[in-house]
Amino acid sequence: MNLNKQILPKTWTYALIEDIAEVGQGGTPSTLKKEYWDGDIPWVRSGEIKWNRITSSNSKITKLGLDNSSAKLLPKGTILLAMTGEGNTRGRSAIVDRECAANQSCAHIIVNSNLLNNEFLFYFFRHEYQNIRQIKKGSNQPGLNTSIIKGFFIPLPPIEEQNRIVSKLEKLLVNVKKGIDDFIRIQKLLKQYRHSILKSAFEGKLTANWRKENKLTNENNLSIIQNHKSSKLDNKPSIIHLNQLIIPDSWKSVRLAEITNKINPGFPYGKYNKNSGIPHLRPMNINITGEIDMSEVKYVGVDEYDRLLKGDILFNNTNSPALVGKTSVIKENTNWAYSNHMTRIRFNKEIVNPEWIAYSLHTLFLEGFFRMKCNNHVSQASINSTFLAQNVFIPLPPIEEQTIMVNIINRCLKIISESEKNIEKNIHNSNILRQSILKNAFEGKLVKQNSTEEPPLVLLDKIKNEKRKITVRNSKKTNKKISLFQTKLL
């Protein structure tokens, strides 16, 4: 099977993998036999193949397990190729750096070292990763098989040139990887910084100096809150106290019911329109950073609906436990509707800046608060409106301080978002650079060719001729046995 077959330098040739390597498949010892497991032989699964060098594994088998299964003991330097696997696993490759075995989802390739540098093959698989992933065999769990892999044609330079290519690739790609690793590390730091900004605001640290200078009180807020209490609150004692959060003296810890005008879920809808009607916001329309994401929108044809207005907060009430509680604020008047998996919260804007409440709820989400408190169902988890209104406390500063903090948070998060976009762009460009380097390597453009080096075609022909001789000898032996058997029958 050709993988982007192209014109090669004069000293190169194309070769079938089956002509220059032994290709096989792993196996699994019986899980019912305890004596087959927890030995000292690493047993690799496809999920552990990550463009890496494998020295150990999460699972190990015994010599007895190896001998009583189709698993094989593979020598150091064997190439593993994931034939099946979830996500991006299928098509990934690894080199084993010690003797090991592998399960049936892994193909193993043991190269003829006179013709092929195993690391050259490893880099070839990385270069052709996307093309390999397009090859599918089977319907239940599409993947590769050993017959397909044996039929791969690979570009084959002289072995000396392969060694030079591998050496150059290692130098270049290690720098690319270091750059990507640094970008990923910065991504994590930015995520932590985002959380830190919100938490600092939540605890009153962002405006500590501002409070000293202004010395505001919450008396006006408290008087307005008192007017809500009789109708909004039940008499049950609170079961949540904001993680024992210590807040400034001029703040008050309040239940959502004390400051909301409305708190209610949207409506379910089964039949969606393609591109016309009213946008119907669902859980995926709030992203992990608390922003409205309209990249995937479904539309409904409903005339009577409760539209979302500027200042409304959307709270994701039903999702997986890790995602319940994602919160965002609507920043403009819209014609949007929202599903029953979203709770709309509308506030008394005399005492509340909606963005402050949205940030507060989203901070609780980031800290895992709603994950701990949600009701778990078969495949989902939820926080209902009553629980949200009566038992979730929010720190409430004076309205002026809320606005100051929202402005600070918005400026900081804008800088963080722009930095994250730049990091994503740099990672993307680094991956393009890596593919460009690999492309040059397998087109013969990375290192110079040497016309005095023996073309692999000469040795490859010798190997093919030897294989033919072996096949002929085996065929003659088989025919002789058949003839003797027929003679006995007569």
CB 265 within 8 A of CB 317: yes
pLDDT above 80 for 59: yes
CA 207 to chain CA centroid, Å, is: 37
Same domain, yes or no: 230 and 196: no
Are 46 and 135 part of one and the same domain?
yes
Looking at the structure of the chain, the number of domains it has is 4
Out of 31-40, 253-262, 395-404, 467-476, which region has the weakest mean confidence (pLDDT)?
467-476
24 and 151 housed in the same domain: yes
pLDDT at 156 over 70: yes
Least confident of 64-68, 138-142, 179-183, 216-220: 138-142
Question: Residue 288 is part of which domain span?
Answer: 217-397
pLDDT tens for 223-257 read 555 554 444 444 443 333 444 567 888 888 888 99
Instruction: Return the pLDDT at 201.
Output: 92
Among 449, 464, 481, residue at a domain's last position:
449
Judgement on whether residues 245 and 317 belong to the same structural domain of the protein: yes
List the CATH number of the domain containing 358. 3.90.220.20
Q: Rounded distance, CA 462 to CA 474, Å?
A: 18
- Where residue 138 falls among pLDDT bands split at 50, 70, 90? low
Residues 6 and 141 in one domain: yes
**This prediction's pTM:** 0.78
Question: Does one domain contain both 230 and 211?
Answer: no
Decide if pLDDT at 106 tops 50. Answer: yes
Are 211 and 224 in a shared domain? no
188 and 51 part of one domain: no
| Domain shared by 8 and 105, yes or no | yes
pLDDT the model gives residue 277 = 84
The answer on 373 and 313 residing in a single domain is yes
Whether 104 and 222 share a structural domain: no
If asked whether residues 340 and 391 sit together in one domain, one would say yes
